[in-house]
Structure 1
């Protein structure tokens, strides 16, 4: 079992809508970063990534992203890029952008 610096989640883009999505513990997808399944070691991270990559009919561009765990036990973005992706496309002024 390998060690990693941060817990990790799997993120991708919805194949049909393009939205940023996150793999859940049930193997489904959510648009909420805080609902993503969290891997605490590299073996679990690779397993989650394999689950995502086995769904090419639903997603594109799956990868592992570092996360921090908040006081409620939910993953939060560590890096700017991931925090930015939670807000949706930067050229729209509706949807997620209007809520921020």
Structure 2
């Protein structure tokens, strides 16, 4: 018996900056997971991934990541995706540096 489909978001890395980015419903990218499109249909997820991969001049390594609906938008299901959205762990820069100056 097939496993039920788990909702997904599309994530990739920004080709020039290397940041983790997420695909939005309007075919643009955001660095904020809460603004990503949460896809709840398996066939739609595959079609949206193909659409995201067309933007290969901007992104690299697009894939579907498990997610769940949260009060403020999609949230990660797996610790790997939670880790990726927070930024590098070896020193503060990028997202971590910006959060430290808030």
Note whether the superposition's TM-score is higher than 0.5: yes
Using the TM superposition, give the Cα deviation of residue 91 of structure 1 relative to its aligned residue in structure 2, in angstroms: 2.0
User: Gaps spanning 5+ residues in structure 2: where?
Assistant: none
How many Å separate the matches in 1 of 2:71 and 2:31? 21
Structure 1 residue runs of 4+, over 6 Å off?
none
| TM-score normalised by L of structure 1 | 0.89
Q: Which residue of 2 aligns with 1:13?
A: 13
Alignment correspondent of 1:41: 41
Measure how far apart 1:38 and its partner are: 1.2
CA deviation after TM superposition for structure 1 residue 45, in Å: 0.5
- Give the structure-2-normalised TM-score: 0.87
1:57 is the counterpart of 2:57: yes
- Unmatched runs of 5 consecutive residues or more in structure 1: none
Residue 44 of structure 1 and its aligned partner are, at CA, apart by 1.1
Separation in 1, partners of 2:29, 2:94? 19
Name the SS of the counterpart of 1:39 in structure 2: coil
Larger Rg: 2
**Cα offset, 1:95, TM superposition:** 3.4
* CA-atom RMSD in angstroms: 1.4
- The total of aligned residue pairs comes to 96
